[in-house]
Amino acid sequence: MAPVMDSDLVRQSAATLSAAMQAGEVTSVQVTEACLARIEEVDDKVHAFLHVDRETALATAADIDTRRAAGAELGPLAGIPLALKDVFTMRGVPTTCGSRILADWRPPYDSTVVERLRAAGVVILGKTNMDEFAMGSSTEHSGYGPTHNPWDLERIPGGSGGGSSAALAAFEAPLAMGTDTGGSIRQPAAVTGTVGVKPTYGGVSRYGLVALASSLDQAGPCARTVLDAALLHEVIAGHDPRDSTSIDAPVPDVVAAARSGDVRGMRIGLVRELGGEGYQQGVRQRFDEAVAILTDLGADVVEVSCPNFEYALGAYYLILPAEASSNLARFDGMRYGLRAGDDGDASVEEVMSRTREAGFGAEVKRRIMLGTYSLSSGYYDAYYGQAQKVRTLIARDFAAAFEQVDVLVSPTTPTTAFRLGEKLDDPLAMYLNDIATIPVNLAGNCAMSVPVGLSPEDGLPVGLQIMAPALGDDRLYRVGSALEAALVDRWGHVLTEEVPAL
């Protein structure tokens, strides 16, 4: 076997590494060691990981190599390393959700996503940083310090899944897992020049995913290429009887769609309400160029109006806090995690209060209070009830749009990555980062962010969002792969290969 350079390995796609492993050109142990070395080299600057499970990762890799050598039939991602957002339970491994209140918690069980990754032979490197309980758009709300964007270490990597996206952009892992409640996969993907997919709600099991807002949360794949995201999507998707919201239907053939890359004859809708004022000029420029490419590739591009999208942000920030205040009530210092102020004389109520005061950060407390207020007697109908009605109108806008077109497109984010601390004291400005991604979560549809170049204003990545109807996930990969291939022809490489050296 020819010697392989670690610096070369960490920059390869998962699909390329898989082919090399199957051809006997490289082993899973070599790839895993290369990723671990890269983490050791750069993560003190990036802070993508909260926990690295070196021994288990190498043991898994060695087992895959042994099975492959013995002729075992293995899946395409067997032996490929992955970074796991720290919101998925994993037996015996710290699972903090970016919160001090779960600092020492080690779950006694695996989430369904982790079970499926293990069954596929994926090598889990460790857990990635995130905004506390997935509440945030910058990963600055982590209880363990912010993650930095590898494109510019003074800027945010997006949130809440900034750790996963930064790990990809920094070449610490070829694959990552995220969760998306209002854009927490797609927004980080956009600002780090990576690919992020929010599958159809119910398309990937939520069992073992620590809940933020149960009607909005969705696990999904993060990668550096569209095909890699599809390969991971195929592994994690499918019905799970342990999740009552799991869809009992065949998984769309996302891998075949990613390999096709043909948009001829597709109708693509530009969402009138997701663009214009408030969008950075460089973001708009790269988006318009990408739309022109899709037209050149044979797609029929038309403008579509979704008038109720303008109310999505307000509705979302009533529904999410309401569900969060209910879901986070379980973190009380009584059953697991942090217990503060238990001096022997304190009442149960005092211990609960002190634990939540010490364990939760400012953003979590803010949203719990907002949610509790909107659910309180006398305000439920005026706030939460009205927000649910708006949610229905947004779903109807999507349904009407998809009667006219196959997919919808928009910029993923209004701006490129902003500077760390720039919006930390302005919650509304922070919330506006998700203005284009939130409608999909409210409706339960699927969406992808794919990189479309660098803004000429600041040299930072720009993402294009593709939206499809429920169970139309394959359409995302068809459009995303076509656009990616055209841009690779133009650039000569995928965007992440331009990431400045750390």
Taking the C-alpha atoms of residue 236 and residue 220, their distance in angstroms, rounded to an integer, is: 8
- Tell me, yes or no, if 160 is annotated catalytic: yes
Q: What DSSP string runs through 76-133? A: TTTT-EEEEETTB--TTS---TT-GGGTT---SS--HHHHHHHHTT-EEEEEE--SGG
Q: How far is CA 88 from the centre of its chain?
A: 12
Catalytic one of 111, 184, 205, 374: 184
The pair of three-digit structure tokens given for residue 360, joined into one six-digit string: 């939760």
According to the 3-state scheme, what is the secondary structure of 424-490? CCCHHHHHHHHCCCHHHHHHCCEEEEEEEEECCCCCCEEEEEEEECCCCHHHHHHHHHHHHHHHHHH
Taking the C-alpha atoms of residue 449 and residue 497, their distance in angstroms, rounded to an integer, is: 17
Confirm if 5 and 34 have CB atoms less than 8 A apart: no
Listed residue (479, 391, 502) closest to 438, CA to CA? 391
Catalytic one of 13, 18, 138, 160: 160
State which H helix or E strand residue 282 sits in. Answer: helix 281-296
Listed residue (476, 470, 419) closest to 450, CA to CA? 476
- Tell me, yes or no, if 198 is annotated catalytic: no
- Tell me, yes or no, if 18 is annotated catalytic: no
The pair of three-digit structure tokens given for residue 161, joined into one six-digit string: 């899944």
Listed residue (83, 6, 10) closest to 52, CA to CA? 83
Alpha-carbon separation of residue 315 from 121, 244, 385, 392, 410 (angstroms)? 41, 24, 10, 10, 20
Taking the C-alpha atoms of residue 30 and residue 33, their distance in angstroms, rounded to an integer, is: 5
Taking the C-alpha atoms of residue 420 and residue 146, their distance in angstroms, rounded to an integer, is: 8
* Geometric angle at alpha carbon 151, from 177 and 422, rounded to 5°: 90
The owner of tokens 């970074």 is 83
Supply the residues annotated as catalytic: 85, 160, 184
